[in-house]
Amino acid sequence: MEPATNTKLNVRLEHLYHHGARCIALSFENDQVLIACAKAAGAVWSKTHECWYVRNSEAALNAIFISFKGTAWVDMDGLRKPQNRSNTPHAHERSHPAESISRSAPTLPSKPEPVRTITTAVDLPKGYLETLERRRYSENTVRQYCSHFTKFLDHFGGRDPEAITEEEINAYLLYLVNERKVSQSMQNGVINAIKFHYEKVLGQKRKEYWLERPRKERKLPHVASEEEVLRLIGATTNIKHKAIIALLYSTGIRRSELLHLRKSDVNLDRLQVMVKGGKGKKDRYTILSAQLAVALSAYLITFTPNYWMFEGPERSQYSANSVAEIIKKGCKVAGITTRITPHILRHSFATHLMERGTDIRYIQELLGHSNLATTEIYTHVSQKSLAKIINPLDAILGHNQLGTNPLLKPKP
């Protein structure tokens, strides 16, 4: 049975006119987890209006729903009311040309998805959020750590974490596995959030306590065939969508890395793409198809992006959901029934390179893997390596002493 939504955590969205532009104001109680979610959605604090806000756009609205999902209920009633500019703060401000944006409100879903929360508002210990920010953890990591740790504290009734014993911590992890049925990645995320407090915030040594991690799963990545990749690229007539699919496969970059690509990061002359601040905050170069470089030149002329290589409404960053939807629709048009995602295109890039004899260490650099063992998984899905193995059934049938093939029906 689904647990009831906790109405204590509520984020109210309202119209806001700020610095000559339409914005969305986010109103909620002073809670550090909610603040982290707001920042992850791209919101900034306004001293004038004393609230968090984002520019009014469909992409920004989607980012809010994604960021607060599982943490708080997003109330959009305020956005459904027509905005009266005369009643908004600082309505006398005139719009500056550099700040002018579309005057149309974002498209609101007819039935907003209820965002279910499991926890109550529990304050983070002093220094937890500050240490995360000081160490420059990504916004997504900050949001996940804060969410995991507040749920952990809420489970123990908001007790001082220093009073929680090692046995109680491990009992909590057992509860997550047996009762909540969380995934291995979720279990690891909870452990990381707990360890962060004791090791990084309190400065305890690792040997002072011990948390058992789940056994690591070894799942082979799914790979699209070369024919499926070509069919997928050719399934759309939209030059922008075609460029996005082809760039993901041609470079092997992650979806998040694609969204953060700037125009200046793509060197069409040298056929290189610079990935800045990839996973682990590492920069790297990857390769670019010569034929795709020609198509990208045409795309840049047609769409004239301002800053980001791929931009959404109002020159904002392209959304992750839009990229996934492009591939999903492309597969449907192309009649591809196997599952293909942005990350599967990355797997396919690496596997196809390996099948064509590219040195594994080059592939490691292109993918940005710190450990060669991570890249070695593609040796297990490469058809070229499997093709070298003679099947034992073929071997014994080739030296068949019976004179007949037992797989075939005997002739009458």
> Which residue among the candidates 279, 284, 285, 329 is catalytic per the annotation?
279
Q: Is 369 a catalytic residue?
A: yes
Q: What are phi and psi of 274, to 5 degrees?
A: -95, 120
> Which residue among the candidates 151, 155, 254, 347 is catalytic per the annotation?
254
Q: Each residue of 258-275: b (16+ CB within 10 Å) or e?
A: bbbbeeebbeeeeeebbb
Write out the H or E segment, with its range, that includes residue 366.
helix 360-367
Q: How many residues are there in the chain?
A: 412
The Cα–Cα gap between 34 and 407 comes to 65
The identity of residue 330, as a single letter, is G
Contact 279, 368 (CB under 8 A): yes
> Which residue among the candidates 343, 361, 380, 384 is catalytic per the annotation?
343
DSSP secondary structure letters along 174-229: HHHHHTS---HHHHHHHHHHHHIIIIIIS---GGG---PPPPPP--PPP---HHHH
> Which residue among the candidates 143, 242, 260, 369 is catalytic per the annotation?
369
212 token code pair: 């058992």
DSSP secondary structure letters along 9-31: SEEEEEEEEETTEEEEEEE--S-
Q: Is 378 a catalytic residue?
A: yes
**Residue owning tokens 């019976």:** 402
The Cα–Cα gap between 295 and 303 comes to 12
The identity of residue 245, as a single letter, is I
> Which residue among the candidates 17, 53, 318, 378 is catalytic per the annotation?
378
75 token code pair: 């109330």
Strand arrangement, sheet containing 272-275? 266-267, 272-275, 284-287
Q: Is 219 a catalytic residue?
A: no
Q: Is 216 a catalytic residue?
A: no
> Which residue among the candidates 15, 143, 148, 346 is catalytic per the annotation?
346
CA distances from 81 to 15, 16, 141, 334 (A): 8, 12, 35, 42
Contact 57, 314 (CB under 8 A): yes
Q: Is 290 exposed, middle or buried (0-12, 13-18, 19+ CB in 10 A)?
A: exposed
Neighbours of 35 (CB within 10 A): 19
Where helices occur in 96-183 by DSSP H, the ranges are 128-134, 139-155, 166-178
Across the chain, which distance is largest between two alpha carbons, in Å?
97
The Cα–Cα gap between 56 and 106 comes to 7
Q: What are phi and psi of 369, to 5 degrees?
A: -80, 135
353 token code pair: 């390179």
Catalytic residues: 254, 279, 343, 346, 369, 378
